[in-house]
Chain A
Amino acid sequence: MSLRVFRDLFGGAKSANYHRRKRARDRRTFLALSAPGLIWYMLLMVWPLVYMFYISLLRWDGMLKPKTFIGLANFTRMFADPHFEHAVVNTGIHLLIGIPAVMPVAFILGFFLSRRPAGYRLLRVVFFIPAMASVAALALMFVGIYLPDGILNTILRGMGLDELTRAWLANTKTALPAIIAIDVWSGIGFYGVLFFAALSNVSDELYEAAMLDGAGLWTSMWRIAFPLSLDFFGLFTMLHFLWILLGAAQNVLLLTKGGPGDHTLTLGYYLYDQAFLSRRLGYSQALGVFVFVIGVLGMLIIRRLTTRKYE
C-alpha cells in the first residue's frame, strides 16, 4: 500500500497539488476520449455547414465548371424566384398539417401502448413497420394506392363514390395532400413507439393515485403523462419538423418530382432539383442556407414551447 493511499484512507487532507494534478489528468482524459468524436463532428458536420455558406456566395454551374464569387446575388435571386415562393408555401402547408396531425395522435398511441394492453408487444412491432420499410418501398406502396386504378379509387367505386375518384398524384388539388398523407401515416406509428418508450418510465403509482382522485384515462394522459414527457414531446416534434423540412423531399422525388407544375414542390426537393438537375450549385446552397436558418428557428421555437417549467 502506497503512502498516498494510506494517507487517504486515514483521513489525511489531500494536498492542493494533488487536486490540481488530478483535475489536469481528468481534463486530459476527457479530451483524449472525446477528441475522436469531436474531430469527426467537425469534419462531417461543421465543415460542410461552413462550406455550404461559402458556396452560397458563388456562381457555380456544375461540378466541372469554374466558380465565381457573386456575393449575395443568389439570395436576391431566391427571394424573387416564383418557384421558391411556391416551395415555401407548400413546405409551410406540409408543416402546419403534418406536425399537428402526427404528434398528438402519436402521443395518444404511445400512451395507449404504455398501459400495456393485451397484445401490446405485437402492436408495437406493427406500428413500427413504416419505419422499417425503405422510403422507396413506401413510395411504391402508395403509388399502388394512388393510381387511377389503384386501391383508393377501387374502394371509392365500390362504395358508389365514383365522383370522388381521381388521379391523386396528378391532380393539382390532391397531389400535395397525398404526399402529406404518406408522412402522416408513417409518422404516427413511428413516433407512437418512441412515445411508448418514453412513457414507460412514468411510474404506475402516479396513474393509480390519479385514479383514486377520480381522474379518468383521458385526464391521466394529458394531465400526468403529457407534462412528464414534455421534453420528449419537444424532441420528437423537432425530429418530425426536420424530417418534413428536408427528408420529405424523398417522397416528392419518387412520386411527383414537384409536379403537377409546382404543386408538390417543397424546399427540400427544390434544393435537390437546383443542385442535381439544374446544376446551379451556388443557388442550391443559398436555398440550403435558408432551410438551415428556418430549421434552427423552428427548433428554437419548439424547444421554447416544450420546455418544462419548474416552479
Chain B
Amino acid sequence: MRKGRLLNTVVLLVILAMVVPTLLAACGAKPTPTAPSPYVAKPSPTPEPTKPPEPTPTPVTVVLKIMDNWGLQADAKGPPLHSIFEDFMAAYPYIKIEEEVFTDVEIPTKVETAFLAKEEPDLIFQNLYGPSLDWIKDGLTVDVTALAKTWGLYDTFKPDALLQWTDDQGRLQGFPLEGFTWPMWYNSAIFKAAGAEIPKTVDELIAASQKIKAAGFEPIVTGGSDWQGQWDFYYFLAAQIPNDELKTLFKQGGWGQSPNVANAVKMFVQMRDGGAFPKDVEGMQFDTMNQKFFEGKAAMMHGGSWSFSEVPEALRKDIVLGGFPLPAGSPHQKPIWVAGYIGKAIWITRNGSEKLDAVEKFVKFFFQSKMIARFVEQAGMTSPLKDTPVDETKLNELFVQSIKISNTVENVEVPDLYVPTKIFEDFLKVANEAFLPGVTAEKIISSLDTVYKGLQ
C-alpha cells in the first residue's frame, strides 16, 4: 500500500511538473516590448543646429472585419468587390480586411449571435428587409447620417437611394450600395416560334401563354417555393393595386377588406389555373427558374439585374426587357416593374464605430465613383451615386436595355420596407402557398389576414 501511494505521488509530481510550467508560460509571462511606442517621439540625441528628421510613426495595424454574401462563388459582384479590397489594402497597408462570407439569409443570425458575444464584424453588406429592419433599433448598427455628411459622401448619393435607406425616424441605416432593376424578361425567339406577341395586357398574356404552351414551351417560369415566387406573387398583385394602398396593406394588413386585392388575387389564380406557370411551379426555386429560361425552355420570367451577367451570350439578343402587363382597370399607367436601392448597403456595427478612422478610409475609398463603376461594368449593378462615369463598351447589353426602358415602366412597392419584421416570414410563406394547385383566392386572402393577426 505504501509503495502504491509512493507511486501515485511520483506520478502526480511528474504531471504537475509538465503542466504547471506550461500554464505559467501561457498565462503569467507578459510580452516584452520590443520597440518603443510608435507615437512617442524619440528624444533628439544632440542639440545640433540641423536636426535629423523625426521618423514617421508607423500606424498600428487595424483589422476591419467585413461580412458579406458577394464573396460566394456564383455572385458576379464578388470579383469587383475583392478587387476593391485588394486595392484598398495596397493603398492602406496598415489596414487589413478580413472577409466572412455567408448567404444573405444566414447573415442576420451570424451577426446577431456575434453581437451578443461582442464579436460582430465591423461592417456588414446586407439587404434592407426582415431582420435588418430592426438592427439600428437593437443597437447592432449605427445611424450613419452624420458620418455620411462629415465624410462628404451624403450629397454624392442619389436622393432615392438615401430615401429608401432612411428609416421613419430620419436615420440613415447604411451607405446605399446596390441598386437594381427587376423587369419582366421576354424571350422574343419563343414568342416568334409560338406565333404570339409580347403582351401589353394580362388578357394578352394569358392568350400568349396558351400559344406558347401549344408550341412546347413554358410561359412564365418562377420559383414557386422560394423567395423568387414570394416576390413574384406580390409583384403580380401590384399590377392591380395602387402603390399607396399597397404600402398600407404591407404595413397594417386589411387584405380582406380591399376590392383591389380580391381582383388581384383572382387574377393571379386565373393565371395559375390557366397554365401561365409550368407544371410543378409550386416546388420550383430561383435556380430552376433561371435554368429553364437560360436554356430557352421558358418564354417569360421576372428576373433581376443581378442575373444579367449570367445570361448565356447566345440568348442575350433574344431577350426583351419590359414591365409586367396591366390588367383591365389597373390603377397604373404603364407596365410595372420594381427598381430600387435596397439591394445592399454598407452597415457600420457597434464594433465598427470603435474603429471610425479605418472605417472612414474604407468607406470613402469604396464609394469613389471609379470603384462603384466596377460593379456597374462587371455585374450590371445600378449605381447609388449621382455620378458614376463608366466605360460603356464594358456594359452588359441587358443592363443598357434596362436603362433605356426605365421611362416606359412604372415602379411599384415591394414588401421589404413595410411588412413588420415579426410577421415577415409568415407573410412570405402565404405567397408560396398561393402557387399550390387548388388553393382558392379566398383562402389566400384569408391566410394573409391571419398572418397580420399575429401583430395584435
Which residues of A are at the interface with B, using a C-beta cutoff of 8 A? 2, 4-5, 61-65, 148, 166-167, 169-172, 175, 256-257, 259-262, 273, 276-279
CB contact between B422 and one of A61, A171, A260 (< 8 Å): that residue = A61
Question: Do A63 and B226 have beta carbons less than 8 Å apart?
Answer: no
> Main secondary structure on chain A at its contact with chain B?
loop
Closest to B433 in A: A261
Ordered by A's residue number, 10 sampled pairs between the chains whose C-beta atoms are within 8 Å are A5-B1, A62-B131, A62-B421, A166-B280, A170-B225, A172-B283, A260-B435, A261-B432, A261-B436, A262-B433
In Å, the complex CA distance between A61 and B140 comes to: 16
CB neighbours (8 Å) of B140 from chain A are: 64
Flag if A261 contacts B282 (CB, 8 Å).
yes
The interface residues of chain B lying within 8 Å CB-to-CB of A61 are 422
Contact A64 B279 (CB under 8 A): no
CB neighbours (8 Å) of A63 from chain B are: 112-113, 116
Q: Is the CB of B436 within 8 A of A170?
A: no
Instruction: Given A257-B226, A259-B432, check contact A62 B105 (CB 8 Å).
Output: no
B224 interface residue (CB < 8 Å to A): yes
Of all chain B residues, the one with the shortest Cβ separation from A143 is: B287
Output the nearest chain B residue to A64 by Cβ-Cβ distance.
B138
Residue numbers in B under 8 Å from A276 (CB-CB): 109
A61 to B421, CA, bound (A): 10
In the assembled complex, how far is the CB of residue B272 from the closest CB belonging to chain A, in whole angstroms?
13
Of the candidates B112, B224, B437, which one forms a contact with A62 in the assembled complex, judged by CB atoms under 8 Å apart?
A: B112
Q: CB-defined interface of B418-449 with A at 8 Å, one 1/0 digit per residue?
A: 00011001100000110111000000000000
Of all A-B residue pairs in the complex, the 5 with the closest CB atoms, nearest first, are A170-B283, A259-B225, A260-B283, A260-B282, A170-B280
- Closest B residue, CB atoms, query A259: B225
User: Residues of A contacting B2 with CB < 8 Å?
Assistant: 2
A115: min CB distance to chain B, Å: 44
Chain A residues in 8 Å Cβ range of B437: 172
Given contacts A63-B116, A260-B225, contact A172 B138 (CB under 8 A): no
Hey, which chain A residues are within 8 Å of B154, CB to CB? none
How many whole Å from B451's CB to the nearest CB in chain A? 11
In the complex, the answer to whether B138 meets A167 with C-beta atoms within 8 Å is: no
Do the beta carbons of A278 and B426 come within 8 Å of each other? yes
B225–A278 CB distance below 8 A: no
The complex places the Cα of A283 from the Cα of B437 at a distance, in Å, of 30
Question: In this complex, which of A2, A62, A171, A175 has the most chain B Cβ atoms within 10 angstroms of its Cβ?
Answer: A62
